[in-house]
């Protein structure tokens, strides 16, 4: 990064002025019990979502990301931040994962904002060798000091949460609990079972494959919409989303679709609101995406009238994604 832009980020970081209330899990290496936050109904609540234009994966995306974060009023001073990209599979012919430029920019931005620690964590759902896919996607070569900041969430010591859907307990990697803030660096994609995969679905990578297998089979047994909602219930209160819609994926996502340039990043602390906004940008009706309706007014806001739009309007950036037959009914009118 050039010195002028780094100076801009540092000055902007010092100017951030809003509060964030997260919960802090235990820090011991051994298994322990962690209490999930209690959700309260959100009737009448409003949420903010920022839509920021980013035409390409150039060095300018860090500045765009910083603007969106500051407009959302996020303060990370002194906090431990875990960046959670979507790093699920690799194919040279398409764009499955959160682009490495977005991950590197987020690392730089959150450090500039005064975070005590910024780490990157992912537990890929398909590839068992996380570091091999990090090589293929250029994460290892293009993220500064990658080996010092990256955590394979599939193979960490774990702690238990009591109550996950109909399971009495569920395990997650300790770094997930140790973080004060989890940033869902999701990719804007369609999904052949869920309709769309965005900031909420991205949390499947928080589930350790060493316990629940590949491709996180227990979540599929519970049900994809239910699992998405449960992950958001547990981790949403200490989350912020930055969805990489610079180039998304349409059609038979999340792996076999085709690239779809949109030229935006979508951000906010209310994950259902962010995902509902992404759906509208993609030309998808969020009222017809099951997990968003399950989460609506319990975990976040999905009604357009109750989302305060910051930056670009949905109409100005809307780019209708191709949908497979099973989800053509979800097309916005």
Whether residue 42 lies inside any domain: the answer is no
pTM of the model: 0.89
Q: Based on the structure, what is the number of domains in the chain? A: 1
CATH of the domain at 112: 3.40.50.11440
Does residue 87 lie within any of the structural domains?
yes
Q: Tell me: the pLDDT tens digits for 162-189?
A: 999 999 999 999 999 999 999 999 999 9
- What is the rounded average pLDDT for all residues in the chain? 90
According to the model, what pLDDT value does residue 39 have?
A: 58
Per-residue pLDDT, averaged over 248-267, amounts to 97
- Which of 29-38, 82-91, 206-215, 239-248 is predicted with the least confidence, judged by mean pLDDT? 29-38
Whether pLDDT at 51 is above 90: yes
Which residues in the chain belong to E strands, given as ranges? 33-34, 47-53, 80-85, 117-122, 150-152, 158-164, 167-173, 181-185, 187-191, 195-197, 239-250, 258-268, 307-311
* pLDDT exceeds cutoff 60 at 270: yes
| pLDDT for residue 17 is more than 50 | no
Q: Residue 23: its pLDDT value, please?
A: 27
Q: Is the pLDDT of residue 44 over 90?
A: no
Task: Give the Cα separation of 190 and 239 in Å (integer).
Answer: 22
Does the pLDDT of residue 276 top 80, yes or no?
A: yes
Which residues span the domain enclosing 218? 47-330
Q: Does 214 fall in a domain?
A: yes
Residue 65 in any domain: the answer is: yes
Contact (CB, 8 A) for 162 and 124: no
Whether the CB-CB separation of 235 and 182 falls below 8 Å is answered with yes
Residue 152 is assigned to a structural domain of this protein: yes
The tokens for 204 are 């499947």
Distances (CA, A) of 230 to 75, 198, 236, 274: 26, 15, 9, 17
């Amino acid at each position: 990064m050039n010195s002028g832009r780094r100076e801009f980020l540092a000055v902007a970081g010092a100017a951030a002025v809003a509060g964030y209330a997260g919960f802090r899990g235990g820090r011991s290496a051994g298994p322990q019990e962690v209490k999930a936050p209690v959700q309260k109904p959100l009737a009448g609540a409003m949420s903010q979502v920022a839509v920021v234009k980013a035409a390409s994966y150039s060095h300018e995306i860090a500045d765009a990301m910083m603007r969106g974060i500051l407009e959302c009023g996020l303060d990370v001073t002194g906090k431990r931040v875990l960046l959670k990209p979507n790093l699920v599979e690799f194919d040279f012919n398409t764009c499955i994962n959160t682009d490495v430029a977005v991950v590197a920019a987020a690392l730089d931005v959150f450090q500039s904002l005064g975070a005590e620690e910024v780490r990157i964590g992912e537990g890929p759902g398909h590839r068992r060798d996380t570091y091999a896919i990090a090589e293929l996607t250029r994460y290892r070569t293009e993220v500064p000091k990658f080996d010092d900041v990256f955590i394979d969430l599939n193979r960490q010591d774990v702690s238990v949460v009591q109550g996950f859907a109909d399971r009495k307990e569920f395990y997650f990697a300790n770094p997930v609990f140790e973080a004060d803030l989890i940033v869902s660096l999701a990719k804007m994609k369609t999904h052949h079972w869920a309709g769309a995969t965005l900031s909420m679905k991205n949390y499947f990578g928080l589930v350790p494959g060493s316990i629940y297998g590949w491709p996180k089979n227990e979540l599929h047994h519970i049900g994809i919409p239910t699992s998405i909602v449960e992950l958001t219930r547990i981790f949403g209160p200490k989350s912020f989303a930055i969805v990489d819609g610079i180039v998304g994926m349409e059609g038979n996502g999340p792996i076999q679709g085709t690239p779809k340039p949109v030229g935006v990043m979508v951000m906010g602390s209310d994950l259902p609101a962010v995902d509902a906004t992404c759906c509208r940008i993609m030309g998808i009706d969020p009222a017809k995406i099951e997990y968003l309706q399950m989460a609506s007014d319990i975990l976040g806001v999905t009604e357009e009238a109750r989302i305060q739009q910051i930056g670009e309007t949905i109409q100005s950036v809307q780019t209708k994604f191709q949908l497979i037959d099973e989800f053509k009914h979800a097309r916005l009118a």
